[in-house]
Amino acid sequence: MEQFKSLVAIDFSKDSLKVLQRVIEFAQKVGGTVDVVHIVENSFFSPKKDINYIKEHSLEKLQHAFPNFDENHFYCVEGNTKKEIAKIANMLNSKLIVIGKSGETYRFSEVYMGSHTKYIVRSADVPVLVLKKESEIITNTILLPTDLSIDSAEAILKIAKLFPSAHLTLVHFFTIPFEARLNSYGFSDEDTIEYMSVMKEQSEKNLENFIQTINIPHGFAISSRVCKSSLNPKLFDKEVEDIPHDILALHTTGKISFYAFDILESSIENVLILKV
């Protein structure tokens, strides 16, 4: 069986070392390996020491924090952070890139969470896990919003391959057109409730039909839900709070792409971003 290889990007901040600790613990549980990459940003300064000198001293700091860390799994390169992380992940055939929500390298989390994460996702051939929580990494239950597209089906199959023992819950959102105007249009409360019920039933049928089209691997656990949504990323966590999940998974194409990175920024959950 192929080993689960994770690539962790660190900037040697306390937060990034905590991320690395959690990934190492996760790798031990799944029998995987962890590679670490540190990028010396050449866009901000010209180092007085060459990259090999910096790598040597960075490795000393890394092994001080993690005495058993194998130097063969440490990569310290000079370049642009958002480009080099994806490049090294592709070179190493990593299964997953893991980054923290922010670090000392970037003063504003929106810079890190925004342009850098987007570029890494779009440049790498593997999913990116952004850790928002400080607890251990758990992948037992994964929530994936679906727009019932081919890309959603591909994202589901990627998750099934990446985390074969996970339980995946698909959630399909439906909206009520002109909901705020229904009363003005002469809809009674009973009419509105019936209208919403019809919309929900149709969404459930569409979701059920969609699942039937996917060649889901035997033994992979999958369930489904439909939810009424405002399509407001800041309200997303509230709208799915009654659906148990350890990780939120989002794909970057189709209708989901319009607000995937907005949800990533606002969500308090660990978020898995998939390029399909």
> Per CATH, which fold does 5-131 belong to?
Rossmann fold (3.40.50)
- Listed residue (8, 11, 9, 12) closest to 23, CA to CA: 8
Q: What is the Cα–Cα distance from 116 to 182, expressed in whole angstroms?
A: 42
- Bridge-based pairing state of the strands 33-41 and 167-174: unpaired
Give residue 186's pLDDT band: very low, low, confident or very high (50, 70, 90): low
Phi-psi region of 266 (alpha: psi -120 to 50; beta: other; left: phi over 0): alpha
Determine whether domain 141-274 maps to CATH 3.40.50.620: yes
Range 201-211 average pLDDT: 94
The backbone torsions φ and ψ at residue 50, rounded to the nearest 5 degrees and listed phi first, read -75, 170
The per-residue pLDDT for 2 is 64
Q: How far is Cα of residue 175 from the mean position of the Cα atoms in its chain?
A: 25
How much is the mean pLDDT over the chain? 85
Q: What is the Cα–Cα distance from 65 to 74, expressed in whole angstroms?
A: 13
Q: What is the Cα–Cα distance from 92 to 266, expressed in whole angstroms?
A: 31
Q: Would the CATH topology of 5-131 be identical to that of 141-274?
A: yes
Range 82-101 average pLDDT: 90
Range 32-46 average pLDDT: 80
The per-residue pLDDT for 105 is 41
DSSP state of 213: T
Contact (Cβ atoms closer than 8 angstroms) between residue 59 and residue 76: yes
Phi-psi region of 231 (alpha: psi -120 to 50; beta: other; left: phi over 0): left
Find the angle CA(30)-CA(169)-CA(123) to the nearest 5 degrees: 65
Q: Where do the structural domains in the chain lie, given as residue ranges?
A: 5-131, 141-274
* C-alpha torsion 112→115→117→122, nearest 10: -170
Helical spans, DSSP H, in 105-149? 109-111, 117-123
Range 167-174 average pLDDT: 93
User: Where does the chain show beta strands of DSSP type E?
Assistant: 5-9, 33-41, 74-79, 96-100, 128-131, 141-145, 167-174, 221-228, 247-251, 270-274
